[in-house]
Structure 1
Amino acid sequence: MNVEAAYDKFYAYGITYDRLKYINCDDLALAFPGNENIGYRAELREKIGLWKHKNFPEESLSTLSMNSNVQNWLENQPLHSPASNSNSVKVTNVTDMVKNSKSGQSLLSLYIMKKKLDMHDRKRLLNIIVENFFDCNSRKYIIPRPYQMNKLAEEIVEIFPTENKEIYYISRKAGRRTNALGILYNRFNNLNRKRLKLESTTSEEENASDKETLCSTNYISLKNKMKYMSGDEGDAINLWSETYKYRVNDIRHLKDLKSILEEWPFYKQATGPKFLDFDFQKIYPEETFHLINNWIDVRSQLCELYKNLLRDKHYGDLFALVSKECVNDNSKDCILIMLLNAVLKPTSRYVAEIDGKRVNCKTTIRDAMDSCIIHITNINDLEFTYAEKEKKSIHRKEKIQPYLIVVGPDIKSLFEFYINYDGTIQKFHTFIAALDICFKIFHVFNLEYPKESSLIWYFLQKQIYKITTIYDLKSSALCEFLTFFKS
């Protein structure tokens, strides 16, 4: 019996062209019964399957009888949610990407029939993998690391054994080339370039809109009104909210902290922390109260870690004060934050002039502590402390970044807490409240963390506030400490 002879049978059983995509093996057995037609049914099943896969990929899996190996594989994989498309479930391995995608399942079914993947099939597979990787990666514009790319290629070969790993990925080292090779590597890079180009175009459009906003007479008049308004007036926060979009763009274009404070003097008033908190909440609405709400747990976790990680006797003795009842809670909190510098030791260097010679010096733990927290015994020392910081910044050719000031006869008896940002002093009732606003200042004003203590600010950013940006510092010591902390 030839293939053309099947048309009459299909017609007799009411199988039209439109209904052909729903036919399965049981239907073929009814139309062509008997052992003598086994080979003929197999031929039809193969040709109908290929036709359905090409024209109706989404339906081909559910209506075509699958090879028992494929069926067993799918049944033994726990589905987290109904399969819909490659973006429905965020996964990081090829097996789950295929399992959670109808397109991936139909591709696997087709492979069982054909025992190979052609160029079109590989393209579908790459789309599933690459799109899924970008969707589940918190850092949007980044391709997998070499070891990740190699692992993805190995997983592809595990699922599709007739495929060659080197089709998908050849490492730079293995290929003895400047760049890696393979269709998987190329697909990641091409899609990444397209996304970056799209982002750039979008940014240009937003910048054009921003310029239009900057020239808005209404915004300028509101801003001018705020310059002559007292911060305690009832409608101050309403004006602050109305000028938010303008202010964000204004801050982005201003050169330094001094210029920002001159343009937006509300930040310098006694109610400045309230406006700083407002702006931070606009930027990161989900992260505003993380430190305040979670500090009790963070405190206990740090205490456990310090027991094992503090080796130096001087800092061990400082940590011992935390367990003493005579030490107040604010002093304990301050000590725990200061000691982060002894665990996340500074790695920065600076150039100093000693005896007329420029010398490359390594930042000490004491330098790191002083860059973020200054302890004074008397409030009258505030001006002297700032003058000393100015002298050091000129000597090292560095800017003075925002920092905390704690006041008390000694470190275990602190009773007043301040923040100093470009000479503006703000007072707080607790150390943690001051630390919270100091951290937010860096993000609201787009400032860099001080180099000496940058790791402790990154610890707060990543672990406490759950913030990640494309500008973050890479540090193996920080990664290791975060791992200890989470475990």
Structure 2
Amino acid sequence: MATPPTNITEDEVFDEYVIEDENENQDEDEDENEGEGEDEENIEIIKNSVELPSSQYELDSILSSCQKTTNIRVVDDELTNLLKDWGHLEVLDHFKKEHIDIEVLKNIECHHLGEIMKPFSYGKLILFEAKLKEWRSALGKPLLLYQTSFRPLQNSQCSSEASFSVVSTPTTPKSSRSENSPNSIPLGEILNSNPKTLALAESYEKSKKFQEHQRKELINAIAIYFDQNNLHLDLHSSYKIEQEILERFPTEKLEYYRTSKRGKIYAKFCNIKSSSRTNVTNKSPSPKVEQNEKDTLEIISEEDAEQTYRALKYDNLSCEEFERSWKACINHRLLEIKNASSTSEILNKWPQYKLPSGHRFVDIDYSYLYPNAGSFLNNWETLGEKLLKFLSTDNRVKEKNIREVLIKIKTADSSENCKDAALLWALHGYFVPFQKVIKKDIDGRKHVIRHTIKDSQNSFVWIGNTIQAIEDHIAFLNKMGENIQPFIIVDGVSILNFSEIFLYFDGVKFPFNSFIRAVDICYKIFYLFNLEYPTACSSFWGFIETQYHQGNKKKLCGKTHVLLNEIS
């Protein structure tokens, strides 16, 4: 059989063996052969001490084996050094066992990591994936974020033959779930189970942020996943999913998903479970709102308060004397407000609040009660610019007519009052109402309704083109038999074209020259008299509240947290 041809260099042969060619150099000069006898003697010694291969083919096999051993040693060293640089040397033995080397790491995809890193913790997997992504990007071979096929979970409504991109979020294997939390589902498993959540994650990878409607879709999808798979979502599991969301989507914040102790995911799951019961409970309206998180002074009534009160009621005082007397019995008055059962009781005892200049007394009492409160009025110029920029970008306002108003604020030749009013009016297009309530119609019949953006705007500022139209609107509200919370009225044809401004409170219309000042006093009335915000625009007033009381954020909606984060 012919010996396979091979190309062997002289250096490769003499690494292991020395081969003598007896016929070599026979025709060379005598000077060149000097010392030849000595060399031949040395070669003979090597030949006697080493068993030479019997054929060229055997020699080739030996050399190939040596070369492979050298290559394996180099590859192992590269992998060891790489893992050492990443701070993950502890996975080396596992990688060798699974035949994972540098070449494998160059071609691995995200969806492989869940199985490969199975023996290690979820935290180790996340940190390793981050290093791998960075290394692959440096090589010009970015880590693939998507698979090309999708196999739906059991009970999924999607077709089993569906084929589309799947986000390769590392998931903890089902077998590794905590026995104490059998319903604890990794976020990655939920994302990969639904085409909508896959699209959300893909969108995040491109923009590195979620819009508010996308957060809502994610929350809904998580709750629906638990419901459709007959899994119970407890508080512990919902908290865990919230933390996984923050890890998977780094620009998200906890307050976007947790506005109360239970959180939005848990609340949505509970709502789905009880969706078969369509009855909507409606607590009877109360003139009081909870005082949670409102830091106030410890109030002790003045000793001569009754005497000062009588002077205010009966004496003919000058403006300066009246204001001095008003402040002299302020503790006594605030205690009575706190203990009153209704605003009518307060206003009957202190009718000065109902004077055309009564808003001055509201301002005095509020400033005394909350000396450390912020100033919406003083900060409005900067705040207004930020709000206009926020509402005009990223399609945050969906309503076409509101978007048109936002454009006119920048271009129209309207007064500053009108532009300020239009901006706050447009903000209701961002704070879209979501609550369902029971309301009576004009005939006294009850209906379950969901407030609209228009309801929210009208609860804040009502536009009447004549004084008679304004009076008719107030009469209509009184006929409905509901509590009428403070709101602003403008006399004009549109929010960008009006002439007069009033603040309506308990049958009184306070006139104002500044729209922002009217908003300021309206808010202070809510707080001073402990009134509820109108249900239709509670999110709007919750945002305004943050401009006065920075620490009171527990009950804010997710959209408010997003807005505060953007304008801070």
Cα displacement (A) at 1:420: 0.7
- The SS at the match of 2:360 is helix
Conservation of the 8 A alpha-carbon contact between 2:463 and 2:493: no
| CA spacing shift, 1:318–1:222, aligned 2, 3 Å | same
| 1:221 matched residue in structure 2 | 307
1:344 to 431, 445, 453: 431
Residue in 1 aligned with 2:447? 359
Which one has the bigger helix percentage? 1
Q: Find the counterpart in structure 2 of residue 476 from structure 1.
A: 558
Q: Following the alignment from structure 1 to structure 2, what is the Cα–Cα distance between the partners of residues 262 and 420?
A: 17
Q: Which residue identity does 1:412 align to in structure 2?
A: L
Change beyond 3 A, Cα 1:229–1:482 = farther
Cα deviation, 1:66-97, whole Å, max 9, x if unaligned, reads: xxxxxxxxxxxxxxxxxxxxxxxxxxxxxxxx
Q: Which amino acid aligns with 1:316?
A: R
Distance 2:530 2:427 in 1: 23
Partner of 2:503, secondary structure, is: strand
Query: What do the CA deviations read for 1:177-200 (whole angstroms, capped 9, x no partner)?
Result: xxxxxxxxxxxxxxxxxxxxxxxx
**CA distances 1:3-38 after superposition (whole Å, capped 9, x unpaired):** xxxxxxxxxxxxxxxxxxxxxxxxxxxxxxxxxxxx
Query: Helix, strand or coil: the match of 2:501?
Result: strand
* Matched ranges for 1:326-341 at <5 A: 326-341=413-428
Question: Matches of 1:431 and 1:220 in 2, distance apart?
Answer: 36
Q: Are the aligned partners of 1:231 and 1:269 in contact in 2 as well (CA < 8 Å)?
A: no
Q: How many residues align?
A: 275
**Shift of residue 477, structure 1, vs aligned partner:** 2.3
Q: Is 2:370 the partner of 1:284? A: yes
Unaligned runs of 5+ in 2: 1-237, 244-294
- 1:379-390 map, 5 Å: 379-390=467-478
TM-score normalised by length of structure 1: 0.52
CA contact (8 A) 2:433 2:453 kept: yes
Asked if the contact 1:333–1:431 (Cα under 8 Å) also holds between the matched residues in 2, the reply is yes
2:386–2:567 Cα contact (<8 Å) kept: yes
Tell me: CA distance 1:436–1:476, structure 2 relative to 1, closer, same or farther (3 Å).
Answer: same
Q: Which amino acid aligns with 1:339?
A: A
Could you tell me which of 294, 302, 309 is aligned with 2:387?
A: 302
Aligned residue for 2:404? 317
Question: Highest Rg: 1 or 2?
Answer: 2
Contact 2:464 / 2:490 at 8 angstroms: preserved in 1?
yes
Which aligned pairs between 1:351-430 and structure 2 lie closer than 5 A? 351-353=438-440, 358-392=446-480, 394=481, 398-430=482-514
- Using the alignment, how far apart are the partners of 1:230 and 1:384 within structure 2? 37
Q: Answer yes or no: is 1:435 the counterpart of 2:519.
A: yes
Alignment of 1:40-439 (within 5 A): 210=300, 213=301, 218-229=304-315, 233-287=319-373, 290-308=375-393, 309-353=396-440, 358-392=446-480, 394=481, 398-439=482-523
Q: Which has the higher contact order (CA 8 A, sep 6+)?
A: 2
- 1:365-406 deviations in whole A, cap 9, x for unaligned? 1111111111111234332221122233x2xxx411111111
CA contact (8 A) 2:526 2:532 kept: yes
Structure 1 gap segments, 5+ residues each: 1-144, 151-202
CA distance in 1, matches of 2:530, 2:536: 18
Identity of aligned residues (%): 26
Distance 1:316 1:229, change over 3 A: farther
Aligned residue number for residue 155 of structure 2? none
Q: Which residue of 1 aligns with 2:542?
A: 458
Provide the rounded CA distance (Å) in 2 between the counterparts of 1:453 and 1:232.
40
- Secondary structure of the 1:409 match is strand
Distance in 2 (alpha carbons) for counterparts of 1:307 and 1:244: 44
- The 8 Å contact of residues 461 and 468 in structure 1, kept in 2 or not, is answered as no
How far apart, in 2, do the equivalents of 1:384 and 1:357 lie?
A: 22
Cα distance in 1 for residues equivalent to 2:339 and 2:470: 31
* RMSD, aligned α-carbons: 2.8
Give how far 1:230 is off.
6.2
Q: Which letter does structure 2 place at the counterpart of 1:430?
A: S
Are 1:232 and 1:271, in contact at CA under 8 Å, matched by a contact in 2? no
Q: TM-score, normalised by structure 2?
A: 0.45
Rounded to whole Å, the distance in 2 between the matches of 1:319 and 1:230 is 50
Task: Show the counterpart of 2:267.
Answer: none
How far did residue 467 of structure 1 move?
A: 4.0
**Residues 294 and 364 of structure 1: CA distance in aligned 2, closer, same or farther (over 3 Å):** same
**Other-structure match for 1:54:** none
